[in-house]
Amino acid sequence: MIPEFGNFAIILALGLSLMLSVVPMLGAARRQLQWMQTARTLTTGVFVFMLAAFIALAWSFLQDDFSVAYIARNSNTALPTYYKLAAVWGAHEGSLLLWVLILSLWGFAVSVFSKDLPIDMVSRVLSVMGMVEVGFIGFLLFTSNPFERSLLNIPTEGADLNPLLQDFGLTVHPPFLYMGYVGFSVAFAFAIAALLSGRLDAAWSRWSRPWTNAAWSFLTIGIALGSWWAYYELGWGGWWFWDPVENVSFMPWLVGTALIHSLAVTEKRGVFKSWTVLLAIGAFSLSLLGAFIVRSGVITSVHAFAVDPERGLVLLCLLLLIIGGSLLLYALRAPVVAGNSVYGEQSRELYLLLNNIILVVSMAMILLGTLYPLIHEAIYGEANKVSVGPPYFNTLFVPLMGGMSFLLGIAVFTRWKRTPVNHLISSLRPLLLLSIVLGLALPLILQAEFKISVVVALALALWITATLLMDIRNKVRNKASFMNGLLSLGRAYWGMQLAHFGLAVIICGICLTSQYSVEDDVRMQPGDEHEIEEYVFKFEGVREIVGPNYDAQAATITVTKSGEPYLTLQPEKRRYRARGDVQTEADIDVGLFRDLFTALGDPRGDDAWVVRIHVKPFVFWIWLGAFFMATGGVLAILDKRYRRERIRKNSRLDNSSVVSNTIAINEAGNVSTKSFDSNETRGLVEERV
């Protein structure tokens, strides 16, 4: 019965989302208050029914209801309870259900946290999200229904979850990633609503910002978790492979990063409007492209879902409809509603523009590299296959990011409109010299091999750090006391600085670990030793162990550091009973400055095994930096100005009769915002306190 309830819930959600995509939109066009007011209720309804469907599927998983085909394919009675829940999103149908649930959750969040927005704006935004929901709930229901039953031959045992997914990292990775992907739908809906209403103003960009930051933070964590999972679960010791599936998660991240910066300019200075709209459309379109590439199997990837071409075709149509429709709307409306952009040389606007160009060019390079195999096949015929390897991506991406990091240091120093060039040069020159000198000196101090790429990367990381510290000092210098100054800076500012610092940390991590890692694959017999730097790894042998749903061979490797006993590592080779899949479990000693990575390769006879022994310096910094970045994004959302507005608004009289008002909030003394008031729109400009 429970799976049928789930199925009904999806059908109801589809019906509600159909209404949501039509009624409030028409209401906003015709200024019918009652029609517009349905938006919040309908959004809540879609969310509640999707949640019910999700719970129904999770419940069926816990009950081992193998009459549901999806559960029979992806679960097993011996699977630990915890992984039974994770298995809900372990394959195509369930992960799509999670995708749609998260989409409806974002819609619900917008409806809850949008009390300050004019009702016509809210209804347009929610209605646009409703349209996307119709597409994806329909796709879920008609091509990938997770509740499909096979009642004639109910299997007594399930086929088990793919062993690669039986892991904590992969349990939490998809929800975070989808929160990020789908989160960009909010910025997208805001952009479409702004195009429709013709109000492309500071207020619009101000409302979009926290939502974009939130989605971006989730995506940052999601990508970092995926990379961390690949590092310890695939057993190769690598953390990024430029695999198509990684690329499609990285592209929306790059455009989302550009969007965050472009939104800042649009809010503060009222310029780059149509560009910002295009980025908002782009970020979500790339998320959808990612869903298409992962689920259609058009590109060979190490982690594509087992796929069905028919689904790919439906997804492609959906993709073209959404992207094509929004770009058409953009082409028709953007020239009408966007104003001219005016900004000086050496202004912060200019540097943020450069940042945007570099990020978008990087994205375009990755897109080209990811889709090139398809283009090649289309030109030269299906039998001619090519693949694009990591050297392509590294050659392009590393110099572009290097350039961007250098410009970042200058950008934090520049002011809006115009910065005196002499002032800029005189304050930056000592910092630049300091970064270069320290970049040269650090490898010598640490007694590491001298490599020019390390010096450049360290200098860039130091440059970012030095400029941000100097900027903080400049900001607090004129305050009564140091602490006073630090406290007055505001959470958005700290968020920005923390995220930029995160970039510096990631640069250090990537560069040091890729240049100084020692990666040895050694054939070892019990008693053999292998020495890397001050560590000696002794292979004690392999024993059999029995897990809940697998049998494993576990090696014992004792490590001594500088002659002292240090620790024991136990990498495993598991064989999962239900599918017979073999899975490597690496054992890693994680440290702030270096990781000791061991994994079992294959047996080579006479009790000998090939063992992977890696010492990877600073690899942890990659994920640490990503964590700083995401925390920076969260800090920016928590900035007081978003709260202050809500408090003040609540104290005002109920103004629901004001159907449409635009609240444009300017930074004090920076009054350059134009509100695009149509005849019916009452522009209500309010000074910031």
Between CA 616 and CA 519 the distance in angstroms is 8
If DSSP states are collapsed to H, E and C, what string results for 87-151? Answer: HHHCCHHHHHHHHHHHHHHHHHHHHHCCCCCCHHHHHHHHHHHHHHHHHHHHHHHHHCCCCCECC
Q: Output the smallest distance, CB 226 to another protein, in A.
A: 15
Residue 361 or residue 684: which is nearer to another protein going by CB? 361
Residue 521 or residue 607: which is nearer to another protein going by CB? 521
Interface with another protein in residues 368-397 (CB under 8 A):
368-369, 372, 382-393, 395-396
Q: Output the smallest distance, CB 521 to another protein, in A.
A: 5
Interface with another protein in residues 627-686 (CB under 8 A):
none
Q: Output the smallest distance, CB 395 to another protein, in A.
A: 4
Count Cβ atoms below 10 Å from residue 8 Cβ, excluding itself: 15
Q: Output the smallest distance, CB 605 to another protein, in A.
A: 7
Residue 387 or residue 655: which is nearer to another protein going by CB? 387
Q: Output the smallest distance, CB 508 to another protein, in A.
A: 24
Whose CA is closest to 636, among 122, 216, 203, 102? 216
Q: Output the smallest distance, CB 554 to another protein, in A.
A: 15
- Sign, CA dihedral 636-414-428-456, equals positive
Residue 307 or residue 327: which is nearer to another protein going by CB? 307
Stretch that binds another protein, among 261-269, 508-516, 582-590, 659-667 (CB under 8 A): 582-590
Residue 544 or residue 602: which is nearer to another protein going by CB? 602
Q: Output the smallest distance, CB 388 to another protein, in A.
A: 5
**Non-local CB neighbours of 392 within 8 Å, separated by 6+ positions:** 242, 369
The helix (H) or strand (E) run that includes residue 676 is none
Q: DSSP string of 440-462?
A: HHHHHHTTPPP-HHHHHHHHHHH
Between CA 477 and CA 475 the distance in angstroms is 6
Q: For residue 454, give both structure tokens.
A: 């390390």
**Non-local CB neighbours of 20 within 8 Å, separated by 6+ positions:** 38, 39, 42, 43, 46, 126, 127, 129, 130, 133
Choosing from 46, 280, 365, 586, the residue that interacts with another protein (CB under 8 A) is 365
Q: Output the smallest distance, CB 589 to another protein, in A.
A: 20
Residue 2 or residue 361: which is nearer to another protein going by CB? 361
Residue 147 or residue 242: which is nearer to another protein going by CB? 242
Cβ(295)–Cβ(315) under 8 Å? yes
Residue 346 or residue 435: which is nearer to another protein going by CB? 346
Q: Output the smallest distance, CB 316 to another protein, in A.
A: 17
Stretch that binds another protein, among 199-207, 254-262, 430-438, 519-527 (CB under 8 A): 519-527
Residue 94 or residue 625: which is nearer to another protein going by CB? 94
Dihedral of CA atoms 526, 531, 537, 543 in degrees, nearest 10, equals -30
Contact between 345 and another protein by CB under 8 A: the answer reads yes
Instruction: Name the burial class of residue 436, with classes exposed (0-12), middle (13-18) and buried (19+) by CB atoms within 10 angstroms of its CB.
Output: middle
Please tell me the total number of residues recorded for the chain in this structure: 689
Choosing from 226, 235, 256, 617, the residue that interacts with another protein (CB under 8 A) is 235
**Non-local CB neighbours of 654 within 8 Å, separated by 6+ positions:** none
- Sign, CA dihedral 514-518-522-525, equals negative
Residue 333 or residue 573: which is nearer to another protein going by CB? 573
Residue 68 gets which letter from DSSP? B
Q: Output the smallest distance, CB 636 to another protein, in A.
A: 30
Q: Output the smallest distance, CB 238 to another protein, in A.
A: 11
Interface with another protein in residues 160-179 (CB under 8 A):
162, 164
Between CA 680 and CA 684 the distance in angstroms is 12
Among the residues of 202-308, which ranges form H helices? 202-233, 244-269, 273-296
Between CA 475 and CA 469 the distance in angstroms is 10
Between CA 562 and CA 559 the distance in angstroms is 10
Interface with another protein in residues 295-314 (CB under 8 A):
297, 300, 302-304, 306
Between CA 199 and CA 183 the distance in angstroms is 22
End-to-end CA distance of the chain: 57
Q: For residue 658, give both structure tokens.
A: 């004001």
Residue 386 or residue 486: which is nearer to another protein going by CB? 386
Total of chain residues touching another protein, rule CB under 8 A? 47
Contact between 430 and another protein by CB under 8 A: the answer reads no
**CA 44: distance to chain centroid?**
25
Contact between 521 and another protein by CB under 8 A: the answer reads yes
Q: What binding mask, one character per residue, do residues 597-636 give for another protein by CB under 8 A, x or -?
A: --x-xx-xx----x-x------------------------
Q: Output the smallest distance, CB 246 to another protein, in A.
A: 14
Residue 175 or residue 235: which is nearer to another protein going by CB? 235
Interface with another protein in residues 562-581 (CB under 8 A):
573, 579-581
Q: Output the smallest distance, CB 385 to another protein, in A.
A: 4
Choosing from 2, 22, 69, 361, the residue that interacts with another protein (CB under 8 A) is 361
Contact between 399 and another protein by CB under 8 A: the answer reads yes
Q: Output the smallest distance, CB 617 to another protein, in A.
A: 22
Residue 387 or residue 568: which is nearer to another protein going by CB? 387
Cβ(602)–Cβ(516) under 8 Å? no
Residue 303 or residue 479: which is nearer to another protein going by CB? 303
The pairs formed by 387-395 with CB atoms below 8 angstroms and a separation of 24 or more are 387/300, 388/242, 389/242, 390/241, 390/242, 392/242, 393/242, 393/247, 393/365, 393/366, 393/369, 394/242
Stretch that binds another protein, among 187-195, 361-369, 411-419, 658-666 (CB under 8 A): 361-369
Report the interface residues with another protein, using CB under 8 A: 162, 164, 235, 297, 300, 302-304, 306, 345, 361, 365, 368-369, 372, 382-393, 395-396, 399, 521-523, 573, 579-584, 599, 601-602, 604-605, 610, 612
